[in-house]
Amino acid sequence: MNTSEPSHFMDGHEALTQPKRWDMEAHSRSVQLIDEDGKFNSETLKSFTKTIQLNQCNSSYAVVSIMGPQSSGKSTLLNHLFGTKFQEMDASEGRSQTTKGIWMAKAVDIDPLTLIVDVEGNDGVERGEDDTKFEAQSALFVLAISDVVIINMWCHDVGREKAANRALLKITFQEMMRILTPRKATLMFVLRDKTKSPLDTLKAKLIRDVEKIWGSIWKPPAHVKTQLHEIFNIEVVALSNYEDKPENFKEEVDCLKRKFFRSTTPGGLAGDRSGAVPGSGFSINAEKLWQLIRQDQNLDLPSLKIMVSTHRCKQIAAKEFSSFDESKEWLQIRENIRTGLLSGSGKVLDALFDKTFER
């Protein structure tokens, strides 16, 4: 990349300007999907999806997002797990907000194509304790677009009534009840800085806590008896401290990474493809969804999907009409009309129409 020119896709979470060409490391770079003020960067997403060729995917791609308390190592985990380049916190400067808004990157060396979403941490002093609106909107957004949602939390918070992740989980579940997409997502709890407590013990305690939170939230009449496992597949993973035991951490992350290979196959983390948005519709779906969330309307995702389908059908129809209008057969018929020689044109037109409508 020419460093003398401003870049649209930059290392870390730097300012966005006009799109420029990508260098060899472009696929691991992150782009800001939604800024800290809630602005959706539409052109950024379109350029990004075009570069990574998402439009060529049908539903054979996965979206993995991460949520959790501020300064809990979310970006660090994503970078080690997926080879991304999200900006990480500098511990020497103290704990503070690093990720602002919502960022996206493409996982490196993961099959299928996997989009990684890094979400601004919750419970940060920067927004203040009363400003939870963006947290709720972000939670709803990533739940609606993701196949796998990683909840990053401290191992020692398991079982604590006042732990920061409880508020996040309550927001997550409450917002989930507003969308209830047909696709069953995976909720993956990653317990950081694991202790000597056996994982099975931690997992059992965590699931009890999670089910307690699930039972406490409001649900529409049709889902009063809906169980958590009907909405989410639950995974629990524990990782060593990144700074104290770096080798253990990297080995455990490598093991975790294998779970994301072939994730869209039956039984995989993103194996439920019912209702998945084709890659060609991802950008418009994400933008329309965020618009609805920001307007605080009662969401109707089936209607949103109809809107996306209509938009894509118009795009396809326009493309095919243009192809028809520029085809050699049609240009020849137009020439024949100009010269008055129309013999056999009807059969040619019939075949051309059939081909166009079939496409």
Which of 75-114 are b and which e, b meaning 16 or more Cβ less than 10 Å from the residue's Cβ? bbbbbbbbbbbbbbbeeeeeeeebbbbbbbbbbeebebbb
Say how many C-beta atoms besides its own lie within 10 A of residue 9's C-beta: 24
Which one is predicted more confidently, 44 or 312? 44
Q: SS3 letters for the chain?
A: CCCCCCCCCCCCCCCCCCCCCCCCCHHHCCEEEECCCCCECHHHHHHHHHHCCHHHCCCCEEEEEEECECCCCHHHHHHHHHCCCCCCCCHHHCCCCCCCCEEEEECCCCCCEEEEEEECCECCCCCCCCCCHHHHHHHHHHHHHCCEEEEEEEHHHCCCCCCHHHHHHHHHHHHHHHHCCCCCEEEEEEEECCCCCCHHHHHHHHHHHHHHHHHHCCCCHHHCCCCHHHHEEEEEEECCCCCCCHHHHHHHHHHHHHHHCCCCCCCCCCCCCCCCCCHHHHHHHHHHHHHHHHCCCCCCHHHHHHHHHHHHHHHHHHHHHHHHHCCHHHHHHHHHHHHCCCCCHHHHHHHHHHHHHHC
**Whole-prediction pTM:** 0.75
**What integer is the mean pLDDT of 92-107?**
71
**What integer is the mean pLDDT of 144-172?**
81
3: pLDDT strictly greater than 50: no
70: pLDDT strictly greater than 90: no
Which one is predicted more confidently, 315 or 215? 215
Which one is predicted more confidently, 61 or 162? 61
- Of 186, 173, 183, 171, which is closest to residue 137 (Cα–Cα)? 171
User: Among 46-60, 170-184, 247-261, 325-339, whose mean pLDDT is lowest?
Assistant: 170-184
Q: Which of 191-200, 301-310, 320-329, 337-346 has the highest mean pLDDT?
A: 191-200
Q: Which of 120-124, 186-190, 337-341 has the highest mean pLDDT?
A: 186-190
147: pLDDT strictly greater than 90: yes
- Residue type at 252 in one-letter notation: E
CA–CA dist 357, 169 (Å, integer):
48
pLDDT at 21: 39
Instruction: Please give the structure tokens belonging to residue 249.
Output: 């951490």
22: pLDDT strictly greater than 60: no
CA–CA dist 231, 254 (Å, integer):
28
Percent of the chain with pLDDT over 90: 36
62: pLDDT strictly greater than 80: yes
pLDDT at 162: 63
Say how many C-beta atoms besides its own lie within 10 A of residue 356's C-beta: 16
Q: Are strands 31-34 and 102-106 parallel, antiparallel or unpaired?
A: antiparallel
Cis peptide leading into residue 221 (ω within 30°): no
303: pLDDT strictly greater than 70: no
